[in-house]
Amino acid sequence: MIDILVNEHKNIKVILSSVEHISREIANGGEVDVELYRRIIDFIRNYADKYHHRKEEKYLFNEMAKDSNAEGPVQGMLLEHDMGRKYIKHLELALNDYEKGNKDAKVRIIAYGIAYKDLLADHIFKEDNVIYRFALRVIPEDVAKGLEKEFVNIENDEDNKAIREKYVSLVNELKDRFNISE
């Protein structure tokens, strides 16, 4: 169960590195590749958020929060998911402005891109190193087994296979383009 989530983090981290590369290019005077950035936003919304965060929010965190000791940390994680959604909304608005010819929107494209990257990189680090281990301690074994089964069903669902294929291919494309080894 946890290995599936950690593996999804690896794909998300490639997207975060790409956002950093793109932001650096723009800061160095480059133009914004709006089409590519929109594909990245699509990844963030549909893979990082709907596909990955949904597993956390609906299943793992939901079960975890039934333990009063875990309630606070879970709230913190949910808050960060929401902050991420807000940054991406602002990033999209800045891209729309840029596309309409407002070159000053570059400042906000860089700012929200980097804000999202920093927020999510730190969030993923906490989940990989603290939160998921905490989850395994507080979720009863039979419930954890049920979650594991649920996650495997999600993985095997045909629609989800298509989603994975689409977004992993973007991850591979960006790995090549920006020379990302992770």
We find the least distance from the C-beta atom of residue 147 to Fe ion, in angstroms, to be 15
Q: Binding marks (x or -) toward Fe ion, 62..101, rule CB under 5 A?
A: ----------------------------------------
Q: Closer to Fe ion by CB, 63 or 127: give it.
A: 127
The answer to whether 57 and 81 have CB atoms below 8 angstroms apart is yes
Closest CA to 15 of 148, 138, 121, 134: 121
We find the least distance from the C-beta atom of residue 98 to Fe ion, in angstroms, to be 29
3-state helix, strand, coil in the chain (%, to 5): 90, 0, 10
Tell me if 59 contacts Fe ion by CB under 5 A.
no
Count H helices and E strands in the chain, helices first.
9, 0
List the one residue from 1, 43, 106, 127 that touches Fe ion (CB under 5 A): 127
Cα–Cα dist 10/84, whole Å = 17
Tell me the window of 29-37, 43-51, 56-64, 137-145 that interacts with Fe ion (CB under 5 A). Answer: 56-64
Which chain residues interact with Fe ion by CB under 5 A?
56, 127
